[in-house]
Amino acid sequence: MKEYWELFLVFFKIGAFTFGGGYAMIPLIRNEVVNKRNWLKDEEFMDTLAISQSIPGPMALNTALFVGNKRRGFKGSLLSGLGIILPSFIAILLIAIVFTQFKENPVVERIFKGIRPAVVALIASPLLSLGKSARISWKNAWIPVAVALSVWLLHVSPVYIVLAAISLGILHLFYVKQRIKR
Amino acid sequence: MELFQLYITLFLVFFKIGLFGFGGGYAMLPLIQHEVVNTHNWISVSDFTDIVAISQTTPGPIAFNSATYIGYTAVTNGGFGNVEGIIGSAICTLAVSIPSLILMTLVCLFFVKLKKNQWMQASLSVLKPAIIGLIAAAALMLMNNYNFVDYKSWIIFAVVLLASIKKTDPILLIALSGVAGLIIYR
């Protein structure tokens, strides 16, 4: 019982104190789960991250679910998952209720006129470093370019992009294996 | 009845977003925008950009934040009250998380060293560069007349882009551009 509660609390704390989500959460999760509590070894933590990135959904949620499941099975993952979801749920719900009333306010509108292009810049800025870490070269640069153009200009649903990318990757391995056999 | 149908649609759409949202964060934005802005018209493009801005300055991953926010707004914009809106936002937040819960449970059950499995590796080999394309699409889709009203918008964009590449704190950048907006748009 005590450990369920602890799982909930640890991930509630992580959920409440990480702004911006995603990669910003990794050092905090590592500190709580590896350094403070010894729930996972450092190497296991790296594997957890790799798996969390390989399945769909926010990485922070996936990591929380994995750690919860490792500690206390399905119920453990339910509690760690709830823990990481609740803080942002409460915060955004309050903002949604309040913001919808202030949105038409001219001062708020001026502020957001300044913020909107900044948000677009924040989305674009990690592209370079991500390209490096995903080993984008002249050989495979057509993939992100084709994806970006077809989603942006042709309005292709990202669902099809994901399905096509997974199939292409598997087909490629299949083809390579066939060639080795011969 | 109409409310019930809206709840079902919201659930299905956010379940889909959770299921196909590889790469997390920004990579999920085009999918969310495609569904909630283009297909279902629950919110406008500038509302969507505002949600991303709010997500940057509040705790938690962007996928949860937009699920919570859109769940509430879609229901209240549909002419329903506060309580119905809160239920809607709970439905969306759960719906976006359930695919991860199911998949993680399966992964933990069959914990074959997934990381080293060659078929897993193969399926990620094209997906990883594709995710970068999705993030680029997220930025391109938001570069429109609603978010970029004049040349000043482009100046803000350029300055923030450079500062962010130099690892300036995103929350600080959003706060500063808010102040800039307040000063230059009179």
Rg (CA), chain B: 19
- Of these ranges, A38-42, B11-15, B55-59, B75-79, the one predicted with the greatest mean pLDDT is B11-15
Is-contact A60 A84, C-beta < 8 A?
yes
Mark yes or no for CB contact B181/A115 under 8 Å: yes
Mean pLDDT of chain B: 89
Distance from the A45 Cα atom to the nearest Cα atom in chain B, whole angstroms: 13
Of B89, B100, B158, the CB nearest to A96: B89
Tell whether B129 is within 8 A of chain A (Cβ).
yes
User: Looking at residues B18-31, what average pLDDT do you find?
Assistant: 87
- Output the tens digit of pLDDT for each of chain A's 182 residues: 788 999 999 999 888 877 655 666 777 888 888 889 989 888 888 778 777 877 888 888 998 999 999 899 999 999 999 999 999 899 999 988 888 788 788 998 899 999 999 999 988 988 887 788 777 888 889 999 999 999 999 999 999 999 999 999 999 999 988 888 87
Q: What confidence tens digit (pLDDT) does each residue in B71-87 have?
A: 999 999 889 999 999 99
Q: Is the pLDDT of residue B115 over 80?
A: no
B66-92 burial: b if 16+ Cβ within 10 Å, else e: bbbbbbbbbbbeeebeeebbbbbbbbb
Mark yes or no for CB contact B52/A47 under 8 Å: no
Distance from the A51 Cα atom to the nearest Cα atom in chain B, whole angstroms: 7
Task: Calculate what percentage of chain B has a pLDDT beyond 70.
Answer: 96
| 3-state DSSP helix/strand/coil % of chain B, to nearest 5 | 80, 0, 20
Q: How far is CA B158 from the centre of its chain?
A: 22
Enumerate the residues of chain B whose CB falls inside 8 A of the CB of residue A115. Answer: 50, 53, 174, 177-178, 181
Enumerate the residues of chain A whose CB falls inside 8 A of the CB of residue B104. Answer: 55, 62, 65-66, 69, 77
* Sequence-distant (≥ 6) Cβ neighbours of residue B74 within 8 angstroms: B6, B10, B36, B40, B42, B43, B88
pLDDT at B32: 93
Beta bridge partners, A19, equal B59
Distance from the B1 Cα atom to the nearest Cα atom in chain A, whole angstroms: 24
pLDDT at A164: 93
Size of interface A-B (CB pairs under 8 A): 353
Mark yes or no for CB contact B50/A112 under 8 Å: yes
Q: How far apart are alpha carbons A32 and A115 in whole angstroms?
A: 33
Distance from the B10 Cα atom to the nearest Cα atom in chain A, whole angstroms: 16
Tell whether B110 is within 8 A of chain A (Cβ).
no
Q: How far apart are alpha carbons B95 and B103 in whole angstroms?
A: 14
Fill in the DSSP letter of residue A92: H
Distance from the A140 Cα atom to the nearest Cα atom in chain B, whole angstroms: 8
Tell whether B8 is within 8 A of chain A (Cβ).
no
Enumerate the residues of chain A whose CB falls inside 8 A of the CB of residue B89. Answer: 89, 92-93, 96
Task: Calculate what percentage of chain B has a pLDDT beyond 90.
Answer: 56
Q: What confidence tens digit (pLDDT) does each residue in B145-185 have?
A: 989 999 999 999 999 999 988 888 888 898 999 999 999 99
Tell whether B149 is within 8 A of chain A (Cβ).
yes
Enumerate the residues of chain B whose CB falls inside 8 A of the CB of residue A123. Answer: 26, 29, 52, 135, 138-139, 142
| Residue ranges of domains in chain A | 2-102, 137-181
* Sequence-distant (≥ 6) Cβ neighbours of residue A141 within 8 angstroms: B129
Mark yes or no for CB contact A169/B127 under 8 Å: yes
Enumerate the residues of chain B whose CB falls inside 8 A of the CB of residue A152. Answer: 136-137, 140-141
